[in-house]
Amino acid sequence: MKVNKNSSAAQITRAYAWMLLALTTIISLAIITVVGYNLVANKRQQATSLMNSLQHSFIDNQPDWNYWAYTSPMDTSNTFVKITVDFPKKPTKTFYSKNTESFLDNTWDTWPLLSHIQYQDDQGFYYHILATKTNKKGKKIRYEIWLGLNDAIHLFKLILEIIISITLIGFVIGACLIPLLAKRLNAPLVHLTVTAHKIVKNPEMTHHENLPVPQRPQEVHDLSLEFNRLLNSLNQQVIRDHQFVSDASHELRTPLAGIRGHVALIKRHGHAHPEIIPNSLNFIDTESQRMQELIEDLLQLSRMDHAQLTLTSTNMTALIHAACQRYQTQIPQPLDLQLQPNVYALANAPSMEQILISLLANASKYSPTDQRITVSLTQQQQHVYLAITDRGVGISAADKAKIFERFYRVDSSRSQKIAGTGLGLAIVDRLVTLSQGQITVTDNQPTGSQFRLSFEAVKNNS
């Protein structure tokens, strides 16, 4: 399978590989430095103790090599010594330990920073130490020791080889394991993507299916949960839209069928029985009016799906008073206004008037004609409360939960043939939400219902 270099697995692999490389390099360098330093320090210490024992073995103006070898704290076989004695007014005497003369015949390489280390092709590396001593009579003794470093270097090489081998093995194991680990870490994400792709590509899909929710890692778990929440809300929306379209077509089809029936009736029997024509025309007129109202309501609802209202400080007392006075002429029930003066709310005046008229129309439709309807307006701290109370048929508890849904009509209103589309309260509910308000419905005592709305109060600046 082709690996995308921008994939998260490839990025994890690269990051881990660099980290492994940096870590092993640092650790190896640290080990090599510490081991190398310890080996050199060890040799220096050995050379110093050899020098001490050498100075004690210089008896009667000449060295006792056997005594020195015996008193030395370590093996002297790989060690060479040269002692030069300067007597005042006497020729200089030089003493060599066994094989030292031939050892010194070679030419030696030295390095400025490592002045104690000397190298020769045949002999290898040596640690060179020098000490001079002058006694009161002017005798000057110069001690020189060459201490073989080859054993230490051998050990150092061995350690180096071990470290390099371990590092290489680590790299090989890392190179095999890191991509597997990266793949494993990414598996839930890949699974999520594949499933989402399958869901999208499924031609039979009628709604958004849920994605699998892995337990780990937490981020992918949360992401899938959030995705599913989003999908559920989209599903709800899709279901609502389907329902809306099917309800709308049903509501439009019913009056249309009636109209077509009456048109057919006039066509067939209009000539022979002209007396049926006015009745049919009346029916066609009423039903076409109902259709018009329905279409207007539908259009308003669909426009409001993406609408926003401009809310300003509105004199609710004046607005409600004027609207009620105008509307009183269109309904038989007397309106009882209980309006607190100078109440201002954050509102959109035309929408507020539409809400009020809609609720008044309902109160009037579902109440006996002689029962008054009360409209009250009060302000309590930060809230303005508007209540429309009727003494009509009331609404059952089960219906209260549904009356704000689109096209919902209580059965009794259908059976009693009260005109309506079932969209009035859905529009009111949406307008209240857009006005950042709230609406509730409760029972009125002893009969009827109360629609109570609340809006944000504003201080009156006038």
Residues that bind ligand ADP (CB under 6 A): 362-363, 366, 390, 392-393, 395, 403, 408-410, 413, 420-426, 449
Residue with Cβ nearer ligand ADP (348 or 421): 421
For residue 450, the minimal CB distance to ligand ADP (Å) is 9
Residue with Cβ nearer ligand ADP (208 or 406): 406
Cβ-contact 439, 427 below 8 angstroms: no
Alpha-carbon distance values, 155 to 41, 75, 145, 160 (Å): 14, 17, 22, 9
For residue 443, the minimal CB distance to ligand ADP (Å) is 10
Residue with Cβ nearer ligand ADP (50 or 294): 294
For residue 401, the minimal CB distance to ligand ADP (Å) is 11
For residue 202, the minimal CB distance to ligand ADP (Å) is 37
Residue with Cβ nearer ligand ADP (152 or 248): 248
Alpha-carbon distance values, 161 to 32, 165, 352 (Å): 11, 6, 88
Alpha-carbon distance values, 347 to 312, 316, 319, 323, 404 (Å): 5, 9, 11, 15, 21
Residue with Cβ nearer ligand ADP (100 or 362): 362
Residue with Cβ nearer ligand ADP (102 or 246): 246
How many whole angstroms separate alpha carbon 195 and alpha carbon 193? 5
DSSP letter string, 141-167? EEEEEEEE-HHHHHHHHHHHHHHHHHH
Residues comprising the chain, all counted: 462
For residue 416, the minimal CB distance to ligand ADP (Å) is 9
How many whole angstroms separate alpha carbon 191 and alpha carbon 199? 12
For residue 280, the minimal CB distance to ligand ADP (Å) is 25
Residue with Cβ nearer ligand ADP (423 or 439): 423
198: left (phi over 0), alpha (psi -120 to 50) or beta: alpha
For residue 422, the minimal CB distance to ligand ADP (Å) is 4
For residue 230, the minimal CB distance to ligand ADP (Å) is 30
Indicate the burial class of 415 (C-beta count within 10 angstroms; 0-12, 13-18, 19 or more): exposed
Cβ-contact 336, 375 below 8 angstroms: yes
Among all residues, whose Cβ is closest to ligand ADP?
A: 420
How many whole angstroms separate alpha carbon 354 and alpha carbon 334? 19
For residue 343, the minimal CB distance to ligand ADP (Å) is 23
In terms of DSSP bridges, do strands 335-339 and 373-380 run parallel, antiparallel, or are they unpaired? Answer: parallel
For residue 437, the minimal CB distance to ligand ADP (Å) is 18
Backbone angles phi, psi at 128, to 5 degrees: -105, 130
Indicate the burial class of 444 (C-beta count within 10 angstroms; 0-12, 13-18, 19 or more): middle
The closest of 181, 199, 180, 203 to 191, measured between CA atoms, is 199
Residue with Cβ nearer ligand ADP (207 or 250): 250
Residue with Cβ nearer ligand ADP (148 or 420): 420
DSSP letter string, 192-240? HHHHHHHHHH-TT--S-PPPP--SSSHHHHHHHHHHHHHHHHHHHHHHH
Who's near 238: CB < 8 A, 6+ residues apart? 207, 208
Q: Based on C-alpha coordinates, what's the Rg of the chain?
A: 52
Residue with Cβ nearer ligand ADP (21 or 418): 418
Residue with Cβ nearer ligand ADP (258 or 420): 420
How many whole angstroms separate alpha carbon 349 and alpha carbon 344? 11
For residue 439, the minimal CB distance to ligand ADP (Å) is 12
Residue with Cβ nearer ligand ADP (330 or 342): 330
For residue 415, the minimal CB distance to ligand ADP (Å) is 10
Q: Residue 331 has what DSSP assignment?
A: -
